[in-house]
Amino acid sequence: MSKPLISVVVPVYNQEKFVQETIESVLSQQGVEFEVIAINDGSTDRSSGILKQYQDKIIVMEQKNLGVAEARNAGIRRARGDWIAFLDGDDRYLPGHLAQAREFAGQHPEAILFYGDALVIEETGARLGRQKSHPEPSLENLALGNFIVASSVIARKTLFESGEWFRSLHPAEDWDLWLRAAERGTLCHYPWLGVEYRKHFASATQTKLDQAEHCNLVILEDFFRRHPERKNLERRARATVYYESAVRSLRHQALKESRQKIRQSLELDWKRKNSWLVLFLSLLPGAWVRRLIEFTRSVRKWKNR
């Protein structure tokens, strides 16, 4: 078997509804040698059986439930390609994505990792719009918030051979790695739209929301320990973490928690206009907030029909 240029690593956990679409979207890619490594991370649904239907075309790995970070790391260790692409088990590649990635890699020999915008879809597959990523992936910009969708990322295998791996900081393990990658080499933004990123709107518990905030703060603490010369960014970076917590709480109609988080954000950075909007929304009755969210989603669907 010839050596692939790209190894596509697909972590899967209880994604029986979507994983077949995910695998098919990769296998339909043309114009480049690639391999697919799917890691079943202890799924309790039919995901394992669905993956085994493809085991003559892809590499299927089984492990107990260790989380997405360890699933990706297992796939990276198995990978033979010079480049490692990441695709979550419910996302999809658009046609021609990997061929364009091959061309882009050849044009940017300095890049250690590249990424792009993503097309956001609902659980049903309905398109909601384009999630834009910052075109300038400087260390400073990345420290002020994660704007990179993991399923859009393709990284040189040498990044991991140099000792960088995903750490178990779910759901922020990807941001942690992007920051460390930016310390190692050049990140590049590619111009095409290559991936559909599935956004789930099911209710999350407050415990999970708090866990996301905690992991983000741990990552920032580690980052500023490594970069004391960038301490001037710390207040704004922490304000962004609390702002994102407030937005997540607002989406799940946890209005009291949203107010608390947005006030913490404003104490650190009162100049962010969107923070004042979130504070205003968090003061509205819950039914109004729910209707506004539903209306916004309906408008986005209509615009992207």
Residue 278 lies in a domain: yes
- All residues at 6 or more sequence positions from 242 whose CB lies less than 8 Å from its CB, including other chains: 213, 261, 262, 264, 265, 268
Q: Are residues 297 and 160 in the same domain?
A: no
pLDDT tens column, 231-264: 999 999 999 999 999 999 998 889 999 999 999 9
Give the contacts of 256 (CB within 8 A, at least 6 positions apart). none
pLDDT at 295 over 80: no
Q: 259-289: per-residue pLDDT in tens?
A: 999 999 999 999 999 999 999 999 998 888 7
The pLDDT of 7-27, averaged and rounded, is: 98
What confidence tier does 181 reach under pLDDT thresholds 50, 70, 90? very high
Write down the pLDDT at residue 299: 59
Same domain, 229 and 135: no
- Give domain status of residue 1, yes or no: no
pLDDT of residue 305: 56
Indicate if 123 and 180 belong to the same structural domain: yes
Domain boundary among 198, 226, 260: 198
By the 10 Å C-beta count (0-12 exposed, 13-18 middle, 19+ buried), 152 is classed as buried
Task: Say which CATH number the domain at 163 has.
Answer: 3.90.550.10
What is the pLDDT, as a whole number, of residue 187?
98
Domain boundary pick from 139, 164, 198: 198
As a whole number of angstroms, the distance between CA 151 and CA 87 comes to 4
Contact assessment for residue 155 and residue 112, using Cβ atoms and an 8 Å cutoff: yes
Lowest mean pLDDT among 94-108, 170-184, 276-290: 276-290
Structure-model confidence comparison of residues 289 and 304, the more confident one:
289
Supply the pLDDT for residue 201: 66
Mean pLDDT of the chain: 93
Q: What is the pTM of this model?
A: 0.93
Place of tokens 């669907």: 301
Q: Which domain holds residue 273?
A: 206-303
Q: Is 11 within a domain?
A: yes
Q: Of 147, 171, 198, at which residue does a domain stop?
A: 198
Distance, in Å, from the CA atom of 114 to the CA atom of 105, rounded to the nearest integer, reads 8
**Domain check: are 184 and 221 in the same one?**
no
Tokens of 97: 């994505």
Segment 39-82, tens digit of pLDDT:
999 999 999 999 999 999 999 999 999 999 999 999 999 999 99
The pLDDT, as a whole number, for residue 237 is: 97
Do 239 and 165 belong together in one domain?
no
Counting the structural domains of the chain, the total is 2
What is the phi/psi pair of residue 41, to 5°? -90, 60
DSSP 150: G
